[in-house]
Amino acid sequence: MKYYILDLSSHNSLVKYLTDQGFTVFMISWRNPVTEDRNVAFDDYRRLGVEAALATIEGVMPGRQVHALGYCLGGTLQSISAAAMARDGDKSLKSITLLAAQTDFTDAGELTLFINESQVAFLEDMMWQRGVLEATQMAGAFQLLRSNDLIWSRITRDYLMGERAPPCDLMAWNADATRLPYQMHSEYLRKLFLNNDLAAGRYLVDGKPISLSDIHAPMFVVGAVLDHVAPWKSAYKIHFLVDADVTFLLTSGGHNAGIVAPPGEEGHSYRVKTKSVDATYIGPVEWLSAAQPIEGSWWPELAKWLTARSGEPSEPPGIGIKPADTQALSDAPGDYVRQ
């Protein structure tokens, strides 16, 4: 989906919230691919996305470590990048935050209803002809996962009862789906979803396998109770995959509304508990009993966690400051958001 979900409006922007807390925030504006991008691979997203972003940040703010954050598939990509960097001795990451992201796909929830060998083969044939997975196909799959909320309740309310719901920034974003390149999507479905190569230690980066157990940077991992895309018990499996301190937070809500949960908005709650690297593992059911519910937004918990792992406050770079060898793009929100 489009990257700007974490910066929808001033009142529910995680980017604004973190900058208000004194953090300097960089965000990748992912391109919406076209047919000519059919051969862009999953690893290209790592090289041209994560690695390029870190190189740019180093040019803007030299010598700083980065708190990396990835959401959904971006979190899976961030985990792969972190494992590859750890394998190669790269110390750029100070911490890793994963929002509603899976690294082990053995219990991937209701999405497994749509993904099997025959379905992947069908999708590959269709994508081969077009070069991309169309946005409408992506959106349709997610709507079917929550058909009561995203299809039938809206039809009943809008068309049978004539009650038009007021416009909402989150629903506008939800309608702004993106395409995926043929090769990238095929590799994701086969290597990660079907074969579970990442969790099994078979995933290759630059021709060599990576292991999530090489990750030693502290992690802040968020799951959502009603998440149909990345079930929280699946996200919880990160505990026995990495060799790091893991703070796991379970928020109310689903894959989107559970993450976009700003302070001051009613109806939010969460549970949180930290497992140190040498502590005994407990399963998700035991964890749920041990972690007591807390009313309110989970965002202050993230800010507190990041602050405890940051250095002394410093002046942020000026707006528009960039390395000398980079080309200026357009003003925010950028061109990609309009593609």
Point out which residues pair with 319 in neighbouring strands: none
- Render pLDDT for 101-114 as a digit per residue (tens, 0 to 9): 999 999 887 776 66
DSSP code, position 327: P
Segment 312-337 shows an average pLDDT of 70
Segment 121-129 shows an average pLDDT of 83
Which two structure tokens, joined as six digits, stand for 318?
């000026």
The least confident of 44-48, 60-64, 207-211 is 60-64
Domains: count for the chain: 1
> How far is the CA of 104 from the CAs of 70, 89, 188, 227, in angstroms?
15, 24, 13, 16
Confidence of residue 144 (pLDDT cuts 50, 70, 90): very low
pLDDT at residue 159, rounded to an integer: 67
Q: Which residues contact 277 (CB under 8 A, 6 or more apart)?
A: 216, 243, 244, 245
- Mean pLDDT, the chain, whole residue set: 88
pLDDT of 143 above 60: no
pLDDT at residue 335, rounded to an integer: 75
72 is catalytic: yes
Query: Regarding predicted confidence, which is higher, 273 or 159?
Result: 273
CA atoms within 13 A on the CB side of 218: 17
pLDDT at residue 94, rounded to an integer: 98
Question: What's the CA gap between 168 and 248, in Å, rounded?
Answer: 30
Question: What's the CA gap between 68 and 303, in Å, rounded?
Answer: 13
Q: Which residues contact 303 (CB under 8 A, 6 or more apart)?
A: 17, 18, 21, 23
pLDDT at residue 147, rounded to an integer: 44
| pTM, two decimal places | 0.90
pLDDT of 269 above 90: yes
pLDDT at residue 66, rounded to an integer: 97
Residue 34: give the domain boundaries: 3-338
CATH number at residue 63: 3.40.50
> How far is the CA of 43 from the CAs of 72, 203, 269, in angstroms?
17, 11, 36
> How far is the CA of 49 from the CAs of 10, 43, 81, 231, 241, in angstroms?
26, 9, 10, 26, 24
From the list 40, 72, 85, 98, the catalytic residue is: 72
How do beta strands 93-99 and 219-224 pair? parallel
Segment 69-85 shows an average pLDDT of 97
Q: For the beta carbon of residue 104, count every other beta carbon within 10 angstroms.
A: 19
Percent of the chain residues topping a pLDDT of 70: 88
